[in-house]
Amino acid sequence: MALDGKVAIVTGGAQGIGKEIARVLARNGAYIVIPDISIVQAQQTAREIEELGRKSLAIQADLAQLSEAENVGKSVLDFFGQIDVLVNNAGITRDNLFLRMKEEEWDTVIGVNLKSVFNCTKAVIRHMSKRRSGRIINISSVVGQIGNAGQANYSASKAGIIGFTKSMAREFGARGITVNAVAPGFIDTEMTRSLPERAREEFLKNIPLGRVGTPEEVAEAVLFLASDASRYITGQVINVNGGIYM
């Protein structure tokens, strides 16, 4: 599953699952671009990528804005001359019970989690179409498949990503572009580690493998979909969830 010489954009790659995706792709030969709202964290991750012997570019961008996503695409082409892989990973949570959820909480999550996927895909799709080659991997979530109380905004955004993935796969398959999604379950990140112990125990009861997943396990699924090993796979959702949803 080598990616030697490939250029991969990993949105939200400055921390969490996105950072591990960037590291795994780099370890397998890819050059990495990290657009993130936090340039300081993006630059730190870029330095870590370069320590692995791979070129990396950090770009500050609010990917909920189409113009900024398009500027990222232009910057990558100016710097590397090509875009081979797009990983739409950027995401946030603004959890609240629906009756208490504010319009701003809904709009912010939909903007970052779902609209950014539209924006970034827009920014790369013409280039990939002209080259008749490309891999787009969208990071969804198990809650986009089963829902979750207190996360109507997050669940809706992640379910929307699945529908978008399937539509893009149908539109651009003839152009040699594959579009797939990865739907993580309960993954060991800063966000899940901050949950009360009781909540963690409830999650674990419903996971047949009996443990939380790791960011690396999500990243390895992304690596597979980014590589030529997955060349006949498109429009699919790969569940990395320990069996919590089948």
Confidence of residue 7 (pLDDT cuts 50, 70, 90): very high
User: Residue 35 carries which side chain, given as an amino acid letter?
Assistant: P
Cα 223 from Cα 218, distance rounded (Å): 9
For residue 235, pLDDT beyond 80: yes
Write the CB contacts of 212 (distance below 8 Å, at least 6 apart in sequence).
186, 187, 188, 192, 200, 203, 204, 242
Q: Is 208 left (phi over 0), alpha (psi -120 to 50) or beta?
A: alpha
Rounded to 5°, angle at Cα 25 from 22 and 29: 130
CA-wise closest residue to 218 among 244, 180, 194, 183: 183
DSSP 112: I
Question: What average pLDDT does range 183-211 have in this prediction?
Answer: 87
Question: What average pLDDT does range 179-183 have in this prediction?
Answer: 98
pLDDT tens digit sequence for 43-98? 999 999 999 999 999 999 999 999 999 999 999 999 999 999 999 999 999 999 99
Say what the pLDDT of residue 153 is. 98
Confidence of residue 197 (pLDDT cuts 50, 70, 90): confident
Task: Name the pTM for this structure.
Answer: 0.96
Distances (CA, A) of 109 to 12, 92, 95, 218, 225: 14, 6, 9, 22, 26
Confidence of residue 166 (pLDDT cuts 50, 70, 90): very high
> Would you name the residues annotated as active-site residues?
154
What is the sign, positive or negative, of the torsion defined by CA atoms of 17, 23, 27, 28? Answer: positive
Question: What average pLDDT does range 155-163 have in this prediction?
Answer: 98
